[in-house]
Amino acid sequence: MNMHTTIKYRGRHRAASTSRTRRHLAVAGVSAAALAGLGAPAAMADESQPQIPSEAEIQQMVHDGALDAHDAALLRSGEVPEQYRDQFEQGVTDLTNAVAPGALQQRADEKAAAEQAAAEAAAAQAAQDAFSNTTDTPCPASAKACVDLDGQRTWLQSDGKAYYGPVAISSGRPGPDTETPRGSFVVTYKVKDEISHEFNDAPMPNSVYFTWSGHAFHADDTNVPSAGCIHLAYGDSEEFFDQLQPGDEVFIY
């Protein structure tokens, strides 16, 4: 009995199966679409999909919610019998700290910082207002230049009304030989490009002398005390040099 075995040869170049080809095309299409989606800009994302908040945003939502619940509960603490009220309020605070650690302290710190900033701003404004106020001072209306040694400021005026300044100054260091004298003086003379022979020819631009002892307005560092003169910022010294003339009254108090 002869047995015949039939061997089916599948060559390398046989025709591709139609169903397998379709499957390959489908896989390729899905892969291409996925890659395209990964590289697509945010604007092309499916807007219908909810955006997942970041960890920081979630933490903030927890903090905000805990603080809101804390405040709402404390608003109703008056409804709790008085003998249990302290325990109730402490329990609310403890629960808030457990749910959102640090939230209450952070809010308290932010409030304190805001209050301190507001107080500092108010103090700075009050100081500025006091510095700018030239009414009710000892300086007489007859004076052309007024100098407030305690306030470390000076201004020019006409008929008692300030028209330039007040501007910052520095005056003489404490001591009998260096303090700026107080009282009423008269401009004696002016030197545009003055130097100090007493202090190694140090420059004293825009010097306006008001005593015969060497006291003058002149440009110099207003953060450094002088040996008796009135230091002005350079721009201010130019104005004083232009405005003050020999014979003008200078009042220092």
DSSP per-residue letters across 90-132? HHHHHHHHHHSTTHHHHHHHHHHHHHHHHHHHHHHHHHHHHHH
Q: Of 132, 166, 191, which closes a domain?
A: 132
Predicted pLDDT of residue 47: 60
Predicted pLDDT of residue 46: 55
Distance CA 242, CA 203 (A): 18
Q: Using one digit for the tens of pLDDT, what is the confidence trace for 176-221? A: 999 999 999 999 999 999 999 888 889 999 999 999 999 999 999 9
User: Which of 63, 70, 215, 229 is flagged as catalytic?
Assistant: 229
Residue pair 190/218 in contact (Cβ under 8 Å)? The answer is: no
Range of weakest confidence among 18-27, 123-132, 193-202, 218-227: 18-27
Active site residue 146: no
Q: Is 203 helix (H, G, I), strand (E, B) or coil?
A: strand
Q: Using one digit for the tens of pLDDT, what is the confidence trace for 27-82? A: 333 233 332 333 334 444 456 677 898 988 888 998 999 999 999 999 999 999 99
Q: Using one digit for the tens of pLDDT, what is the confidence trace for 142-163? A: 999 999 999 999 999 999 999 9
Pair of tokens at residue 125:
């404004």
Does residue 152 sit in the same domain as residue 248?
yes
Predicted pLDDT of residue 29: 32
Number of separate domains in the chain = 2
Q: Of 85, 104, 132, which closes a domain?
A: 132
Indicate whether 38 belongs to any domain: no
Active site residue 229: yes
User: Which of 63, 70, 215, 218 is flagged as catalytic?
Assistant: 218
Does residue 122 sit in the same domain as residue 190?
no
23 falls in which pLDDT band (50, 70, 90)?
very low
Predicted pLDDT of residue 55: 87
Pair of tokens at residue 136:
């009710």
Which structural domain range is residue 223 located in?
Answer: 145-252
Does residue 177 sit in the same domain as residue 88?
no
